Amino acid sequence: MASRRTEVGNLKSQILQDFLAKTQNPDGGWGYSPGKRSALEPTAYALMGLRHAAGAEQILAMATQFISSNQSIDGGWPVSVTDPGAASWATPLVGVALLSGAGESAQAQAALQSVFSAFNRMPKSWVNRIGGWLGYRSSNVNTDLGGWSWNPGTAIWVEPTCYAILFLKKATLDRQDQSVSRIISEAESMVYDRMCKSGGWNYGNAEVLGEELRPYPLTTTLALIALQDRSLRSENQKSLAYLKQAVSSEKSLLSLCFAGLCLDVYVQGWQNVWNQLDEFYRKISFLEDIKTTALMLITLDAREGNNPFRLKAERR
């Protein structure tokens, strides 16, 4: 497969592209590691990673067909091909991948209704309901604000909510949809409500049983990416400052990739992050994890001005 041969230090796009090309399964998807059953998450990342690779047309067509064939009647996607139903976090991620490569695809637009329908509010026990009626607040967060959960009927979380916000924004970028705008606004309020006092986000609440929880770089990057069109808000700036400080000691390749992509979205310098990624790559020589390899390739592409996590993928 041909390549633009983007190279930064030890990282070479040709090596990463060739790895993804040879590990694509016959059904068009990718597993989490070579030879494993295809799943929607690694396939979505591989699709985003290869979307600008020269000579990858057949690979991308097979991947898109795999995604299309596994879309449910309601427009959603499961985590794995063996799962019975759509996952409210996998669906927006796949949708973002489709929109980043082909613009407004029919599959992505069908997914919009699935993501919209999965929006929910925190389930409440009868004790919490009575407390709410009486005006008592039993939590440090506003449980009346809705978002998305990992599994249907369970608590809402920051990460799946951020996937959904980003997808809905990209899917309706060039048109007004008041019903979608309303749930985006409420979901954004939920994310801001969960922000840690020091800036950034934990996976769920910012405080539990009176104990303040610390933020994590990965969750913070996802929240900042989802809220990128609110970049001037003080919460965004505070969280961005936290991320810049925290990422210097980050040891997770996944978090570092997202940190670079997030800083690129906010038009911030991320050479230090790239140096860390390059050093990790030099030490381990090669990555056998398909999701992380694809994210490495996506970060290389972002350096060339193409970031699929921007609301408009091409850098302005």
CA geometry: angle 310, 160, 117, nearest 5 deg? 100
Measured between alpha carbons, how far is 17 from 14 in angstroms, rounded to an integer? Answer: 5
SS3 149: strand
Is 181 a domain residue?
Answer: yes
Residues of the chain with pLDDT > 90, as a percent, come to: 62
Domains in the chain, number: 1
Nearest C-alpha neighbor of 155 from the set 197, 122, 192: 122
Residue-wise pLDDT tens digits, 135-144: 434 457 788 8
Residue 41 maps to a domain: no
What is the distance between the alpha carbons of residues 27 and 148, in angstroms, rounded to a whole number? 30
User: Among residues 149, 142, 82, which one has the least CA distance to residue 119?
Assistant: 149
Kindly state whether residue 193 falls inside one of the protein's structural domains.
Answer: yes
| Residue at token pair 């449910």 | 72
Single out the residue of 77, 83, 85 nearest to residue 108, CA to CA. Answer: 77
Asked if residue 303 is part of any domain, the answer here is: no
Query: Residue 65: CA atoms inside 13 Å, Cβ hemisphere, count?
Result: 11
Residue type present at position 155: A
Q: Helix, strand, or coil here: 156?
A: strand
Query: Residue 300 and residue 305: Cα distance in Å, rounded?
Result: 9
Residue ranges making up the domain that contains 153: 117-249
Sort strands 156-157 and 7-8 into parallel, antiparallel or unpaired: unpaired
16 within some domain: no
Query: Would 122 be classed as within a structural domain?
Result: yes
pLDDT of the residue at 231: 96
pLDDT band at 35 (very low <50, low <70, confident <90, very high): very high
Question: Residues 169-213: pLDDT tens digits?
Answer: 999 988 878 999 999 999 999 999 999 999 999 988 777 666 777
Query: Residue 121: inside a domain, yes or no?
Result: yes
Residue 128, domain member (yes or no):
yes
Per-residue pLDDT tens digits for 213-236: 789 999 999 999 999 999 999 999
pLDDT digits (tens, 9 = 90+) for 38-55: 999 999 999 999 998 989
DSSP SS3 for 217: helix
Report the alpha-carbon distance of residue 71 to residue 78 in Å, rounded: 8
